[in-house]
Structure 1
């Protein structure tokens, strides 16, 4: 005889154990509700993943790494957990015509863009804005620099990303103030999980959700494991990339009855792709030619690199984002690593053989190709505020939604966005009166 599928009952079921789900689980459990948290992956944290792969001497960040801007909730939680953070340090180098030069003000041209953005009365995609306001060969470098920053930093498609939203983000200056949590984001998320479990929350890992069947005040959630979960309320914190899956595609989240307005809103939002390369070397050999290297920016196939300064660890992180990462979505990990090493050898004028001799360990994370994510983080499209509000709208005081892709504010696409969204959704859920 075969065993019957497992069945679980709870007050609140939370889908997704990333930053939003973990904070919500802590807050809801602390309020006295029975909470069960299911996560598709076999680890906590979602797109903030601190791990130590073979060969590395210390943990690395496969996903979120920096704290961009003021991020008051992130800082408050780190302080509550007794975890510090460390400012970045060093110089930014820009490679032009094959030579790297220290560029203390990489965004020197940005005020010209911001001045024109300030005159906008109606939103339009960044590419259209640049073509209209900065046409012609005289502005070619400005257009390229602005597009490169939007695609690299925001993982955005310049053909879709909102010019007005980028104006507000860039004026906030988050890119220039980007410390790191000490030890990465892993310790904070583990602390949130421990807090939630101490308050009574139960966590099930490796449990992808297949379908949500609901009616007011009553929900049944079916997992690919065969388990069934029943709850009065559900908080769904899956990434925007899951929302954007179509029926029949792997990872599609079924809803019965369906919510066409929510799906339509998700389709209107931007969700960028990122490929992250982490390379640990025997020595920081690049310091001889690039003293105090913090960031290295170029037009190479892997265009952006950074060190761990002020930490002297001989680690370089490579970054491909936006449409460039999307074009590489189906490339193998070996092919991507070769692309990264080729780019770095070219940028550092170092023979490939010498680079490989120095290489101690390597790690590649292709977020666009990854199940349960299908991308890295959201970016604002034209009309995004209305779409986010529609996607975040609770249903019958029974279904609630959270995640960085639903956040409205200056910290879009960040762990802060996920935390704020999770807290807001938890408060709305606790205040609701399901049938």
Structure 2
């Protein structure tokens, strides 16, 4: 074991980028990954009856995302704007929707008046109480839970103000062909820099003392001078006896308190490819031509197409507290098909008959993720600072949960956290 040895736990984009840069700086880096693949919550899926690869995890680029776009360009990839019309279902009627939140200017004006942070639920009660604001409260709640995956009782009003004012939800292009190019680039660059990546190597215990780390798990025992831990926040929040949990010996009470103060949102993502875009047919009971995004009061409330790609693929999205219940995949599929049948006025049997491929991904039930991405909480900045502080120059942390800024919960946040931690380890 040389003084340059470093273990990176987790082969998501934060772990891969940090490993690449540290190996290029002369560190001897081994990446330990629990899964049989790299990428973490970026999950390109091929096969399974789908006519082309689909994205089981991250799918969009939110906001400026300079690091994400630079890597995509370096990989020879491009991106394209989302297209199509937005629809909503209200009172059983399917109609076009102008915006996610129709009164966003009034909402932002009220948000600008907030001087001290408070939970978003309290903000809505104080500023938009009463029956006359019921629809605005409903839209804000649906958006905060569905897009940000937030528990409104904990979510930071000031942080969401910064995010929403930046328009990150409206500016959400897709990488052409998905994120596979970016992952392939980082994997090649890690190999060229001499990084060893070991998949099927989950770590259940990190034993440490000043200047020495021993990682133990079913895949073996690995030792190094330092460790960079890039697992998702949900894994750090899990109790020690839970599947996929990470235990520290000696324990880190400050770390446990910090991760408990942060918010990890659950998501169920359902990918459905049909024989044709039946929802777009002119003679459909409730036609939705050129469908981009759709919002409904249904078991699976949010849907989107691949526009401008005409592929008859719909993605269902259930996010936030509603996605936290442990529901079997076959039941989630049934709920998804029933939701589409109700939205478009088509018999559920016909929707099922036209289905050609499907995949249900419950990220909250995944032991190596335990959620999809983080949301900002009141007091979260202090907790992130605890995570960003190295432990005895031996244990370091990175990942989208540590990011501070308007791009929280994104691929960009994960990359930015890796860029921030690298100088501490060079």
Q: Give the TM-score normalised by the residue count of structure 2.
A: 0.97
User: 2:407–2:413: 8 Å Cα contact kept in structure 1?
Assistant: yes
Residue 353 of structure 1: CA displacement? Answer: 1.8
Three-state SS of the structure 1 residue aligned to 2:364 is: helix
- Whether the 8 Å CA contact 2:298–2:339 is kept in 1: the answer is yes
Cα drift, residue 189 of structure 1: 1.1
Give the secondary structure class of the aligned counterpart of 2:114. Answer: coil
Contact 2:72–2:181 under 8 Å retained in 1: no
Give the Cα separation in 2 of the matches to 1:388 and 1:298: 35
Equivalent residue, structure 2, for 1:353: 349
Alignment of 1:362-401 (within 5 A): 362-401=358-397
Superposed displacement of residue 9, structure 1: 10
- Normalised to the residue count of structure 1, the TM-score between the two structures is 0.95
Distance 1:110 1:283 in 2: 35
Query: What is the alpha-carbon distance in structure 2 between the residues aligned to residue 255 and residue 106 of structure 1?
Result: 43
Matched, 1:195 2:184: no
Query: What count of residue pairs does the alignment treat as equivalent?
Result: 421
Offset at 1:105?
2.8
Tell me which stretches of 4 or more aligned residues in structure 1 moved more than 3 Å.
7-10
Q: Secondary structure at the match of 2:245?
A: coil
Measure, in 2, the Cα distance between the counterparts of 1:408 and 1:237.
16
Give the counterpart of 1:252 among 245, 251, 256.
Answer: 245
Q: 1:228 aligns with which of 218, 221, 230?
A: 221
Q: CA deviation at 1:228?
A: 1.2
What is the aligned partner in structure 1 of residue 52 from structure 2? Answer: 58
Unaligned runs of 5+ in 1: 1-6, 431-435
**DSSP 3-state at the match of 1:310:** coil
Does residue 417 of structure 1 match 2:413?
A: yes
Output the CA distance in 1 between the equivalents of 2:143 and 2:34. 32
Structure 2: how far apart are the matches of 1:97 and 1:10? 63
Whole-angstrom distance in 1 between the partners of 2:2 and 2:202: 15
Contact 1:210-1:222 at 8 Å conserved across structures? yes
2:116 aligned residue: 122
Q: Secondary structure at the match of 1:416?
A: helix
Residue equivalent to 2:143:
149
Q: Does 1:241 pair with 2:239?
A: no
- Is the 2:274–2:312 contact (alpha carbons within 8 Å) kept by the matching residues of 1? yes
> Alpha-carbon deviation of 1:210?
1.3
Shift of residue 218, structure 1, vs aligned partner: 1.4
Instruction: Tell me which residue corresponds to 2:289.
Output: 291
> How far apart in 1 are the matches of 2:176 and 2:83?
14
Paired residue for 1:48? 42
Structure 2 stretches lacking a partner, 5+ long: 282-286
Deviations, residues 335-362 of structure 1 (Å, cap 9, x unaligned)? 0000000001100111112211211001
Q: Contact 1:263–1:391 (CA<8 Å) still a contact in 2?
A: no
Cα distance in 2 for residues equivalent to 1:112 and 1:206: 50
Question: Is the CA contact (8 Å cut-off) linking 2:100 and 2:139 kept in structure 1?
Answer: no
Q: How does 1:84-163 map to 2 (within 5 A)?
A: 84-163=78-157
Which of 284, 308, 311 is the matching residue for 1:310? 308
Matches within 5 A, 1:18-37: 18-37=12-31
Q: Deviations over 1:395-434 (max 9, x none)?
A: 122211000111111110001100111121122211xxxx
Post-superposition shift, 1:54? Answer: 1.5
How far, CA to CA, are the matches of 2:47 and 2:58 in structure 1?
Answer: 16
Helix, strand or coil: the match of 1:299? coil
Q: Do the aligned partners of 1:8 and 1:229 also contact (CA within 8 Å) in 2?
A: no
Corresponding residue number in structure 1 for 2:6: 12
SS at match of 1:308: coil
Aligned partner of 1:426 among 415, 422, 425: 422
Q: Is the 8 A contact 1:9 1:230 kept in 2?
A: no
Query: Is 1:73–2:67 an aligned residue pair?
Result: yes
Structure 2 counterpart SS, 1:263 = helix
Q: Please say if residues 19 and 415 of structure 1, whose CA atoms lie closer than 8 Å, have aligned partners that are also in contact.
A: yes
Structure 1 residue 106: Cα displacement: 3.4
